[in-house]
């Protein structure tokens, strides 16, 4: 059975790890912060308990899945067949991470990135074996959202992309190939859900609570401000900033000053107990 390593124990990384163990893969969850690992493990355990209570799985299956999960704060132990990162949306961090992992893993290890907007080609370019880097983009919350985008960089080997595609499908996901273009498919289309809502807030068109209620009443599962709080205001701002740059500063992708202030204030959403809303 293929061994999986998930790097980053935030909501996204924990959700990916949950998907992996539920599909029967031995999975190690890594984070440099032990407190984040504890929180991630507790999140996974809680989500399994919810699944049992709702009749979506049995207590026995949940226990079996949890037994496949391990955690570590030591990246020197991250040797696996399939490694996927869900760390900060910053190119230097991702490049350094994969550069290190390349030195301790075999040439057959697949390196997957859950990046929302950074080109796969840019991430892979700094590695000795760029052909084994592929984008595998989940959506939040990863264990619930069905769609996964698989993105091939210029150097990605076809067989690597196919293995990543097959792994995603084995998790029960609806998997699609996307071009290595800014924002791929979903973030390019969905970016304006956030950007236009923030513009409406900047222009005092309506309070953010009203914007959320209006869009939810129109059929969206979550309003844009609630969703940014769930994803992480900082993460969302980073993705928008990245896409703004990659589209050569096209005004329609301009990041919001309101969102930038939230990030600078440390109001990053649910994970910090305050974003556009406050959380107890």
pLDDT score at 21:
98
How many H-runs (helices) and E-runs (strands) does the chain carry? 11, 8
Percent of the chain with pLDDT over 90: 93
Residue 187 bears catalytic tag: yes
Record the tokens describing residue 73, joined without a space.
Answer: 């704060």
The helix/strand/coil state of 204 is: coil
pLDDT tens digit sequence for 90-109:
899 999 999 999 999 999 99
Of 14, 20, 105, 116, the catalytic one is 116
Instruction: Please state whether the predicted TM-score (pTM) of the whole model is above 0.85.
Output: yes
Q: What is the mean pLDDT of the chain?
A: 96
CB 250 within 8 A of CB 195: no
Q: Is-catalytic flag, 116?
A: yes
**pLDDT (0 to 100) of residue 280:** 85
Q: Which of 105, 117, 187, 256 is catalytic?
A: 187
Fold for the domain defined by 4-178: Rossmann fold (3.40.50)
Number of CB atoms found within 10 A of residue 237's CB: 22
Contact 212, 272 (CB under 8 A): no
> What is the per-residue pLDDT for 117?
86
pLDDT tens-digit map of 127-180 = 999 999 999 999 988 999 999 999 999 999 999 999 999 999 999 999 999 999
Out of 20, 89, 105, 137, which one is annotated catalytic?
137
Per-residue pLDDT, 89 = 87
Q: What is the pLDDT of residues 209-239, one digit of tens each?
A: 999 999 999 999 999 999 999 989 999 999 9
Domains of the chain by residue range: 4-178, 186-272
Predicted confidence at residue 140, as pLDDT, reads: 85
- Has 129 been annotated as catalytic? no
Contact 255, 247 (CB under 8 A): no
Q: What is the DSSP string of 131-144?
A: GGEEEEE--SSTTT
CATH architecture assignment, domain 186-272: Orthogonal Bundle (1.10)
**Which residue in the list 14, 143, 149, 168 is annotated as catalytic?**
149
- Please determine, for residue 1, whether its predicted confidence score (pLDDT) is greater than 80: no
**CA 120, CA 175: separation in Å to the nearest integer?**
17
Active site residue 60: no
Task: Give which of 207, 202, 211, 262 is closest to 232, Cα–Cα.
Answer: 262
Structure tokens at 60: 């026995």
Closest residue by Cα to residue 91 from 132, 117, 123: 123
Classify each residue of 95-127 as buried b or exposed e, where b means 16 or more C-beta atoms within 10 Å of its C-beta: bebbeebbeebeeebbbbbbbbbbbbbbbbebb
């Amino acid at each position: 059975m293929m061994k999986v390593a998930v790097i980053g124990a935030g909501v996204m990384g924990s959700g990916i790890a949950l998907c992996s163990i539920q599909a029967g893969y031995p999975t190690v969850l890594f984070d440099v912060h032990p407190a984040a690992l504890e929180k991630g493990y507790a999140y996974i355990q809680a989500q399994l308990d919810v699944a049992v209570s709702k009749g979506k799985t049995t207590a026995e299956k949940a226990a079996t899945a949890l037994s496949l999960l391990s955690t570590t704060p030591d990246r020197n132990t991250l040797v696996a067949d399939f490694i996927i990162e869900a760390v900060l949306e910053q190119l230097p961090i991702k490049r350094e991470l994969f550069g290190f992992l390349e030195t301790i893993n075999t040439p057959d290890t697949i390196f997957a990135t859950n990046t929302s907007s950074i080109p796969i080609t840019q991430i892979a370019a700094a590695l000795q074996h760029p052909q084994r880097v592929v984008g595998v983009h989940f959506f939040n919350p990863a264990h619930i959202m069905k769609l996964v985008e698989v993105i091939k960089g210029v150097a990605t080997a076809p067989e690597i992309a196919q293995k990543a595609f097959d792994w995603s499908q084995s998790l029960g996901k609806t998997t699609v190939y996307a071009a290595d273009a800014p924002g791929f498919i979903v973030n390019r289309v969905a970016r304006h859900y956030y950007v236009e809502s923030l513009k409406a807030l900047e222009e005092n068109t309506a309070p953010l609570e009203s914007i959320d209620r209006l869009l939810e009443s129109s059929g969206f599962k979550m309003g844009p401000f609630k969703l940014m709080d769930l994803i992480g205001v900082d993460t969302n701002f980073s993705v928008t900033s990245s896409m703004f740059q990659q589209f050569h500063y096209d005004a329609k992708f301009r990041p919001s000053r309101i969102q930038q202030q939230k990030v600078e204030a440390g109001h990053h959403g649910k994970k910090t107990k305050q974003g556009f809303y406050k959380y107890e």
